[in-house]
Structure 1
Amino acid sequence: MVDAQDSVQRATLPIPDLAYTGTVTYDATDPDTHYPPIKRLLPPSDAPNVLVVLIDDTGFGASSAFGGPVHTPNFERVAAQGLKYTRFHTTALCSPTRAALLSGRNHHTVGMGGITEIATSAPGYNSLRPNNCAPLAETLRLNGYNTAQFGKCHEVPVWETSAVGPFDHWPTPGGGFEYFYGFIGGETNQWYPAIYEGTTPVEPWGTPEEGYHFMADMTEKAIVWTKQQKSLAPDKPFFTYFAPGATHAPHHVPPEWADKYTGKFDQGWDEIRNETFARQKELGVIPENATLTTRSDGIPAWDEMSDEIKPVLARQMEVYAGYLEYADHHVGLLLDALEEIGELDNTLVYVIIGDNGASAEGTMTGTTNEAFTINHMTEMEDDAYKIAHKDDLGTPRSYNHYAIGWAHAMDTPYQWTKQVASHWGGTRNGTIVSWPKGIAARGEIRNQFAHVIDVAPTVLAAAGIPEPSTVHGVTQRPYEGTPMNSTFEAEDADEVHTTQYFEMLGNRAIFHKGWTAVALHKKPWLGSDHGLDEDVWELYNVEEDWTQSHDLAAQEPERLAELQRLFLIQAARFNVLPLDIRSAERFNEEIAGRPALVKGTSQTFYPGMKRLSENSVVNVKNKSFTVTAKLTVPDGGASGVVIAQGGAYGGWSLYLTDGKPAFAYNIMGITTDFTRSETALEPGEHELVMHFAYEGGGLGKGGTVTITDGGTTLAEGNVERTLPFFFSMDETVDIGEDLASPVSSDYGATGNAFTGKISWIRLDVGDDNHDHLIDPEHRLQIAMTRQ
């Protein structure tokens, strides 16, 4: 309802300016001269501040607020001031959940049926939020809120992620946020992040050795922004979306936080599930008659793991736990800041503990570096390697992820994990809501069914703002979520969200009035190997069977058939059809029907270009390539990086050391092949060329390196092997310097800028491309690991 004292028409946004219709005088000093005073645009008088915290890749059974083994006192602090929702659901994957959260519509409605890297031209899968689905932030901004986003954004179409946009789907300006500080993509190195402020790439204030970590950095930015906002516009509420990279891989955290959990996971993931299950019953976040589901098919028992690897596995979980508590700590600092300035009581706080279930993308025994898995080089990371590098986990020397068994344990008491939209383990996330001024209840539990699409209508209802009928002249599609406000005071409020479909990568389900019909199509760590019609549907009475433990499909075939039909109705209604389980075709832009950001076999770069993602640069993997750089060396010589791609965990770099050209090819930080000239470049203009001749014969093969200057050979060398699929999740091509972690040990993470002048650099790839040999299922695995 609109505030009775608020006479502003808010259904059409932007709110139209009304023309003055009074008397116009000739002289401003005429007594009849009168114009109404200018009024600032403000929301209704009782509209609260809004803070939405979205934690990444955290299952229902991780946080202590929901019985998990990880101490999260600040999440519990929010719960003590408000409500825990035990049946709140997401979409099973990060990009779709975020798109649904920020729009109030189902993920397929806003084009995010998958991640942007596998977008097709089908409306439900094109990664393009239509303009008839204005985001919540834009609606609030046009109603007088100040808006800001901090942390992760993985909703930008992959072909729009370059420095030239367009920016219609970035947080600002297209997403409705006036300020953005964070990263674009599924994950980033928390020690060396790729950060944007607005649409401009910026660099961290320091290195890990100097105490830098992105979680702390983004929190400080959020605190500064909030205090400034209240200082300059105390009568305007804010909408802050706080979405850290935690706890998505890489699990990067200062060692002292991981060390707090030393020895606490030595009993293994099966026993952790039992312990968590018991605590969940004690807390009342699951009913007393709930059943602990059996271990999902394909996940090994703890006792099946070798005694030699168990200390490594335990350390993986210690690091993860420290990372989640570290995130909780910084959420607490933001809450402290709100309390300090007197705004916490009038802030509607959502803490959504996970954008999907815990991630089963880390292999059966985890990894010290995701690039091993992505590049099909797992033979380089055997158990002996993991044991030798156990202490690297979580530090700047790793890009780590935990074993699948831990993901399953963090989804206790449910089946399955992230990516599996068919079962609660992939979609049920503990959620906490507080608003001391607007919710009288304290420390209570709510069991009504809710979904991430319910957040937007709930916020508008709390603010007294109507859902807009038109935004920027476009008639809007109604919200598909239902407000949760009726549950704020009434524990026994009727369940208003009574039907909800789920679909991700062919895994699908339908919830309707206490029943679910579900079909698992593929496991997170395996490709699709059969057709959709071969899937086996299960049926659960979730009012009596909280954890989906007792399949009733055989006993109630008619009810199952009704729910299967209802799924198809919902699928047709919300752009889920056609279901798409393809792999290879979705990676071919022409077949998939999406634009390609980079075309051709040649690309020219100029000084100042940096933070160019792998998607925005011609692909040099599995083929020959040439770098040609037009340089000017000043008197006294030059040093520094000419061009670099990737970082300390994989990449290549062309640079000068004391004037001498060198080329480095880094294989995941394990080995680096160097080709170095013994001759320095004289002062003056040069055309420096590095040519890499691929030896062929398959993927990831080596080749020879030749460095020339004006046709004169300066150095020759060999690269034993190359990275076949991916250099880095987030590190980039940089011109004139190597940002973030350094590719080569010949220079440091900072102070490596080229001291001469670069006119241009051209990158040319050869016609000996071997990418056709890539397994299409592995392409999909690469994409899913990145989200």
Structure 2
Amino acid sequence: MKLPNKVSSLMKVTAVGSMVAASITTTALIGKEKTAIGSEKVEKPIKDEFTSPKEKPNIVYIVLDDAGFSDLGSYGSEIKTPNMDQLASDGLRYNNFHANPMCSPTRASLLTGRNHHSVGMGSVANFDLGPESHTQARIKPEAATSAEILKENGFSTFAVTKWHAAPLHEITPAGPFDNWPLGQGFERFYGFLESHTDQFAPELVYDNHMVEPPEKEDYHISVDFVDHAIQFVTDQVSVTPDKPFHLYLGFGATHSPIQVPEEYINMYKGVYDKGWDEIRKERFERQKEMGIIPQDTEFIPRDPEIKAWDSLSKEEQELYARFQEAYAGFMTHTDDQIGRFISRLKEMGELDNTMIVLVSDNGASRESSNGSISFLNYINGNPTETKDLIAVKDKIGGPEVRAAYPLGWAQVSSTPFKNYKQSLHNGGTRVPLIIHWPEGINEENRGEIRTQYHHVIDITPTVLDIIDVEVPETYQGIKQMPMHGTSMTYSFENSDVPTTRIRQYYSIYGSRAIVDGDWKAVTYHKQGEPYENDKWELYRMNDFTESNNLAEKYPDKIKELEKLWYEEAEKYDALPYEFETSQVRGYINPKAVNNRNQFAYYQGMEHIGTYAAPKIQNRSYTIMATIDRKEKKTDGVLVAHGDHLSGYTLYIKDDKLVYEYNLLGTVYKMVSKEKVPVGESTIQFEFQKTGNLQGKAFLMINGKQVGEVEMPKTFKATLAEEGLDIGRDMLRPVSPDYGKGKDFKFSGKINKVEYHLMND
């Protein structure tokens, strides 16, 4: 059996830790004794394929966010995903493919082919611990991305995506832009830079500047993303048809907020009334029937944190069913957008010669045990009460709620595995992978399942293998680290050939795991405890659901694998342990634009991301604005940070100065006792910290106190998902009292808005 000509002569295995790949044919792999990657070198065959760029396939990465292993129809779900399922039917599905357990590390590894600590993404891009750290929240220049390498080899490069691979304190209209997509090899970009955004009112960036969402009544970001992806590709194919393209299409779905048009939620009315226990069993049995999991896979018990569905009240069941109806609708809506993109490729005659890699960035999210109205409830350790969720049940999935589903449905998404995102068991790392490439995958192999163990660092090496491009020794004068991944092309033809990936380490927040051949060891670290006290678990790799911990039976193997983990961690810059969340959550890189106590903003400044705004949490501070009102009806927002669910705003309405602080539904509000005068005046808000996360606030006009309020509780972590505006409130309004005018823009003149932060 041979692969199509464009692939058969390109079979080689990229050596882990070596710049030069060993080139071997699929035939040579079959029946060969399994050896360490790169241990045998075969002379590289002379190639005559791909002599000009037009003969190279287009490369498309499609990334889902927080989608669990079982969430696609082709992986056992009842959720309707016909377009992704068609890609699986016409391509290959992998059931032993792994990502890193959180999104920024996975995205960095996907784009570079290297391990996430090595390239500077030891955690999510929220945390930037500085240039000497492996948690820099950015991709090091020593690790050129797929876009940079492919652009140098004749490809056009586009990103329409969630990025989350640049320090969040850099999300400002003044940059710096080096770590944004255009600074990482992409020629065009449309998307958002943070971990998530409102699906109906997103914080958008076009190339290197902030933009507002299109004013459409039925706007949704997933539709907008595919509109732009289609536009970018159509422009490319129309003007330079001989040039291949590389597109990174990454959706906000299905990360919270779970938001989707109501008609998609209605598609699933009643489907989830039977509850998470029954749905998980059904998915498990369907997976066995499909062959996506082995027939002898053990069905693991319900997570002890999750209540039995039958033990819930009728009101609770109706509430939780609504969460999953919205989640399923969200996934189907995303599938429809992927279908639109695929249809466009087909119309232009580009589908057959486009390699599509579809993957999730980590396992299902466990970031809300009971379901929540906002992701910030999780970040701030402020779970939403069930009664409050029931009160907004019919709004879940819509624009007024930034929903995150409860843990019971996360375990369904993880079927058949245990644990979730941020975990090093399979529920956190084993994700769906579909590869679709009609010209590169023989017809007789299409629709098959591949069981070889592989990792997200193997995707870009596979692409370079296919287009016959070596990793550059230098890029823009900077010496490049080798690829850590290995090509997967050998698996396109044969399901039985042994994997070429023998070993992979994992590390997140001090917890660790390692895969070595037939074995996997994993340990979870409790912050503040000595690492030598961590207890390791041991599993055979053929134990699909990691049901049988063999640590007590094979203590010597545990010691061997723990030693091996340290060797791999040293090799890939995962040491020393530097990330204890409690120690770094409030850390700001000294070079960050908001690592200072004095700020002066001017009217007309574009939107600033929430992590780039002044850090006012748990400290005394003053906001002072000098303004000019020409007449009594001059009103509007002076400063606003946040949205309808959290944040603060200072505005003038009906001649009065108003301040509101929304702590996830608890609102502190002051309205001035006196009117704001016409003409020039100085407006001041002052917060005096009186204890941990508490204080007293004052309003002043021209130095005279005109308002006061006690604030017994304030945000301890991120105070808003939406960022900072001066002279307007661009997206979701912080206050419902603004009225119907768009963004309640201040109609007078703001000379300056100053922040003065104290170090108490």
- Residue in 1 aligned with 2:403? 400
Shift of 1:383: 2.0
Q: Is the 8 A contact 1:43 1:143 kept in 2?
A: no
1:673 aligns with 2:673: no
- Residue in 1 aligned with 2:523? 519
Kindly report which structure 2 residues correspond to 1:227-238, keeping only aligned pairs within 5 A, or say none: 227-238=234-245
Shift of 1:670: 5.7
Residues of 2 paired with 1:556 and 1:626: CA distance? 61
Q: Go from structure 1 to structure 2 and tell me whether the alpha carbon gap of 1:447 and 1:141 turns closer, same or farther (over 3 Å shift).
A: same
Shift of 1:112: 1.1
Q: Which amino acid aligns with 1:577?
A: L
What secondary structure sits across from 2:173 in the alignment? coil
Q: Go from structure 1 to structure 2 and tell me whether the alpha carbon gap of 1:583 and 1:280 turns closer, same or farther (over 3 Å shift).
A: same
Q: Go from structure 1 to structure 2 and tell me whether the alpha carbon gap of 1:558 and 1:140 turns closer, same or farther (over 3 Å shift).
A: same
- Residue in 2 aligned with 1:760? 752
Q: Go from structure 1 to structure 2 and tell me whether the alpha carbon gap of 1:719 and 1:308 turns closer, same or farther (over 3 Å shift).
A: same
What secondary structure sits across from 2:675 in the alignment? coil
Q: Go from structure 1 to structure 2 and tell me whether the alpha carbon gap of 1:596 and 1:751 turns closer, same or farther (over 3 Å shift).
A: closer
Counterpart of 2:724 (choices 733, 736, 739) is 733
Q: Is the 8 A contact 1:665 1:719 kept in 2?
A: no
Q: Go from structure 1 to structure 2 and tell me whether the alpha carbon gap of 1:460 and 1:376 turns closer, same or farther (over 3 Å shift).
A: closer
Counterpart of 2:685 (choices 681, 687, 691) is 691
Q: Go from structure 1 to structure 2 and tell me whether the alpha carbon gap of 1:659 and 1:236 turns closer, same or farther (over 3 Å shift).
A: farther
Unaligned runs of 5+ in 1: 13-40, 523-527, 770-787
- Residue in 2 aligned with 1:500? 504
Q: Is the 8 A contact 2:658 2:669 kept in 1?
A: no
- Residue in 1 aligned with 2:574? 576
Shift of 1:195: 0.6
1:705 aligns with 2:715: no
Residues of 2 paired with 1:262 and 1:529: CA distance? 46
What secondary structure sits across from 1:76 in the alignment? helix
Moved over 6 A (4+): 1-6
- 1:66-114: per-residue Cα shift (whole Å, max 9, x none)? 0023221111011111100111100110010000000000111111111
- Residue in 1 aligned with 2:365? 359
- Residue in 1 aligned with 2:598? 602
Residues of 1 paired with 2:377 and 2:427: CA distance? 27
Counterpart of 2:152 (choices 138, 142, 147) is 142
Q: Go from structure 1 to structure 2 and tell me whether the alpha carbon gap of 1:729 and 1:182 turns closer, same or farther (over 3 Å shift).
A: farther
- Residue in 2 aligned with 1:241? 248
- Residue in 2 aligned with 1:282? 289
Shift of 1:672: 5.7
What secondary structure sits across from 1:116 in the alignment? coil
Q: Which moved more, 1:689-698 or 1:485-494?
A: 689-698
- Residue in 1 aligned with 2:225? 218
Shift of 1:753: 1.4
1:540 aligns with 2:539: yes
Q: Normalised by the size of structure 1, how large is the TM-score?
A: 0.86
1:560 aligns with 2:558: yes
Shift of 1:2: 11
Aligned-CA RMSD value: 2.6
Counterpart of 1:70 (choices 79, 96, 100) is 79
Shift of 1:722: 5.3
Residues of 1 paired with 2:273 and 2:503: CA distance? 41
Residues of 2 paired with 1:665 and 1:123: CA distance? 36
Counterpart of 2:413 (choices 410, 415, 419) is 410
- 1:310-365: per-residue Cα shift (whole Å, max 9, x none)? 2211211111111111111111111111111111111000110x2111010112x1
Q: Which amino acid aligns with 1:691?
A: F
- Residue in 2 aligned with 1:745? 736
Q: Go from structure 1 to structure 2 and tell me whether the alpha carbon gap of 1:599 and 1:442 turns closer, same or farther (over 3 Å shift).
A: closer
What secondary structure sits across from 1:148 in the alignment? strand
Counterpart of 1:648 (choices 638, 644, 649) is 644
Residues of 2 paired with 1:195 and 1:76: CA distance? 30
Kindly report which structure 2 residues correspond to 1:253-264, keeping only aligned pairs within 5 A, or say none: 253-264=260-271
Residues of 2 paired with 1:460 and 1:279: CA distance? 36
Q: Which moved more, 1:742-751 or 1:249-258?
A: 742-751
Q: Which amino acid aligns with 1:436?
A: P
What secondary structure sits across from 2:92 in the alignment? strand
- Residue in 2 aligned with 1:462? 466
What secondary structure sits across from 1:125 in the alignment? coil
What secondary structure sits across from 2:691 in the alignment? coil
What secondary structure sits across from 1:309 in the alignment? helix
What secondary structure sits across from 1:554 in the alignment? coil
- Residue in 2 aligned with 1:475? 479
What secondary structure sits across from 2:126 in the alignment? helix
Residues of 2 paired with 1:414 and 1:373: CA distance? 23
- Residue in 2 aligned with 1:80? 89
Shift of 1:274: 1.0
- Residue in 1 aligned with 2:354? 347
Counterpart of 2:431 (choices 429, 439, 446) is 429
Q: Go from structure 1 to structure 2 and tell me whether the alpha carbon gap of 1:584 and 1:539 turns closer, same or farther (over 3 Å shift).
A: closer
Residues of 2 paired with 1:272 and 1:535: CA distance? 35
Q: Which amino acid aligns with 1:124?
A: H
Counting matched residue pairs gives 715
What secondary structure sits across from 1:105 in the alignment? coil
Q: Go from structure 1 to structure 2 and tell me whether the alpha carbon gap of 1:291 and 1:394 turns closer, same or farther (over 3 Å shift).
A: same
Shift of 1:291: 1.3
What secondary structure sits across from 2:315 in the alignment? coil
Residues of 2 paired with 1:721 and 1:376: CA distance? 17
Q: Go from structure 1 to structure 2 and tell me whether the alpha carbon gap of 1:5 and 1:255 turns closer, same or farther (over 3 Å shift).
A: closer
Q: Go from structure 1 to structure 2 and tell me whether the alpha carbon gap of 1:537 and 1:722 turns closer, same or farther (over 3 Å shift).
A: closer
Q: Which amino acid aligns with 1:705?
A: F
1:201 aligns with 2:194: no
Q: Which moved more, 1:84-93 or 1:612-621?
A: 612-621
Q: Normalised by the size of structure 2, how large is the TM-score?
A: 0.89
Q: Is the 8 A contact 1:665 1:673 kept in 2?
A: yes
Residues of 2 paired with 1:535 and 1:5: CA distance? 47
Q: Is the 8 A contact 2:169 2:609 kept in 1?
A: no
Shift of 1:138: 0.4
Unaligned runs of 5+ in 2: 11-17, 20-49
Q: Which amino acid aligns with 1:723?
A: T
What secondary structure sits across from 1:652 in the alignment? strand
Q: Which amino acid aligns with 1:117?
A: N
Q: Is the 8 A contact 1:356 1:418 kept in 2?
A: yes
Q: Go from structure 1 to structure 2 and tell me whether the alpha carbon gap of 1:749 and 1:286 turns closer, same or farther (over 3 Å shift).
A: farther
- 1:694-714: per-residue Cα shift (whole Å, max 9, x none)? 36233245x343230x3455x
Q: Is the 8 A contact 1:445 1:491 kept in 2?
A: yes
Shift of 1:257: 0.9
Residues of 2 paired with 1:642 and 1:198: CA distance? 28
Q: Go from structure 1 to structure 2 and tell me whether the alpha carbon gap of 1:373 and 1:455 turns closer, same or farther (over 3 Å shift).
A: closer
1:170 aligns with 2:180: yes
What secondary structure sits across from 1:687 in the alignment? strand
Q: Is the 8 A contact 1:371 1:728 kept in 2?
A: yes
Q: Go from structure 1 to structure 2 and tell me whether the alpha carbon gap of 1:660 and 1:588 turns closer, same or farther (over 3 Å shift).
A: closer
Q: Go from structure 1 to structure 2 and tell me whether the alpha carbon gap of 1:693 and 1:511 turns closer, same or farther (over 3 Å shift).
A: closer
- Residue in 1 aligned with 2:193? 184
Q: Go from structure 1 to structure 2 and tell me whether the alpha carbon gap of 1:475 and 1:627 turns closer, same or farther (over 3 Å shift).
A: closer
